[in-house]
Chain A
Amino acid sequence: MTQGTDSAVMAGEGMTLVPAGTGPFDHLVRRIRSGEVEAFDQLMILVERPVLAVAWRILGDRDLARDAAQETFLRIFRSLDSFRLGEPFLPWVHRIAANASLDQARRRGPAPVALDDLGDLPQDTHGCAEALAVQDQQRELVRRALSTLTPAERSALVLRDLEGLDTEEVARALGVKAVTVRSQVSSARSKVQAFCRRMLTLGGPR
């Protein structure tokens, strides 16, 4: 992801893009650094989607994801002085979010879920918004698919395939080499593909 992605996020939120040559988030960062603390709320609005997405997909638990997201925002605030203006902001945010989520995962100590644990999926779509129910089902399946991965595989796959970072950016975010990221992503995709194959075999919804 580059500054182009940052610009897309800004435009999607209805904010005016700043002139070329400066990062879209730079003016907010400058305001916060100068003491305008309330501007940090605007910054959170711009980055809360990827922060929550990364936290939830790595942890697979709403409460833990909420705690990890809050921790991510606080780390962003405390580290703003170290952010280089003009650099892409979202990859920096992704790195903080991934590390905060992994720290949360280590504290919890999760174990991968067995591949054939596909029971108790939300099935009742009668009498309620079918679209929301389908969404819940999909989320649950994705959560179970990701739970078959190790924390390292999960974070690499989430950043690479779900957040769209390239291999080098994922490596910087996780503090590992690019060859390690490729290995983790390859292993993660194989496991997810195996989960999907199993799901089809057991007749689960897609």
Chain B
Amino acid sequence: MTTSHVHDLLALHAGGDLDPTDTVRVEAHLATCPDCLALAQAYAESRAWLAAAPDAPFSGGERRAIREAVMDQVRREARPRVQARIPAWKPLLGVAAALMLLLAGLRAWQPTTSPAPSLAQVSKPQTASHDTPVADASRPAQATSGAATSARTGPTDCPDTAPTMAQERPTRTVQMARLQAPADSASDGPQPLAAPTRIEIQTDNPNIRIIWLAQATPEPTGTPSPKE
């Protein structure tokens, strides 16, 4: 180990910043080298002199003035901080409002199931128009997408699954019964129609209209005819 090498380490050795291996080597060298030992002592004294120096030259009044100036600024900055801490629930309000709007929109978009088709759609027998697709009410059929009732589907349901005609039939059956019944509500049951009746039901899909042609036939009198 050369003297210059030890000199380079003495500054760190003075503060105990050497690793254990270097510390042992330096101390072993100091035991045999008076020049390096004198320099090590000089380092220790200068560190002690620096550490013994008094603190910053600020009186108690000056320190108080510094704190008051800081507190003035802190109070100004804290007003938005206090206000910002209050509305922890504001984001929740926004979420709740968005949910309510979404629900309202869904309800407005969903067709109602209770009202019956307009009586204007009920007409005398007419030639079926061929320009609009007519659904055969005698057979259950798959409704196309966008069919009337989508109220059965909720927000979490698959939006692409449209209710089938079989699902719609109960609603339409109720409507048909209502149409068949005359204004006299005292009747026990639906009265047979006197003439063929064409009943048209327009679904939500503008391209789909259900047309039902119904005609009651009188009960045969006398011996019942054998069933064929």
Contact = CB atoms under 8 A, between A and B. Distances in A.
Interface size class of A (residues with CB under 8 A): 35 or more
Interface string A59-89: 0001001100110011001100000000000
A189 B43 contact: yes
B42 A40 contact: no
A196 B71 CA distance: 41
Given A35-B85, A189-B46, A142 B53 contact: yes
A185 B46 CA distance: 13
Given A189-B46, A196-B42, A139 B11 contact: no
B73 A74 contact: yes
A128 interface: no
Contacts of A182: 12, 17
Interface stretch (B61-69, B109-117, B203-211, B215-223): B61-69
Interface stretch (B25-33, B74-82, B134-142, B165-173): B74-82
Contacts of B51: 161-162
Given A37-B75, A70-B70, A78-B77, A49 B49 contact: no
Contacts of A95: none
Contact of A66 (B8, B50, B53, B58): B58
A70 B66 contact: yes
A145 B42 CA distance: 15
B47 interface: yes
A189 B11 contact: yes
Interface string A162-195: 1000010000000000000010011101101101
Interface in A8-50: 34-35, 37-38, 40-41, 44-45, 48-49
Interface string B81-119: 110010000000000000000000000000000000000
B54 A52 contact: no
A139 B57 contact: yes
B56 A65 contact: yes
Given A66-B66, A182-B17, A193-B42, A138 B73 contact: no
8 contacts: A44-B71, A73-B66, A77-B70, A139-B53, A161-B51, A162-B51, A182-B12, A192-B47
Given A35-B85, A77-B77, A187-B11, 6 more contacts: A49-B55, A142-B50, A161-B15, A189-B15, A190-B11, A196-B49
Give the top 9 A-B pairs by smallest Cβ distance, nearest first: A56-B56, A142-B53, A52-B56, A189-B11, A37-B78, A186-B11, A196-B46, A193-B46, A73-B70
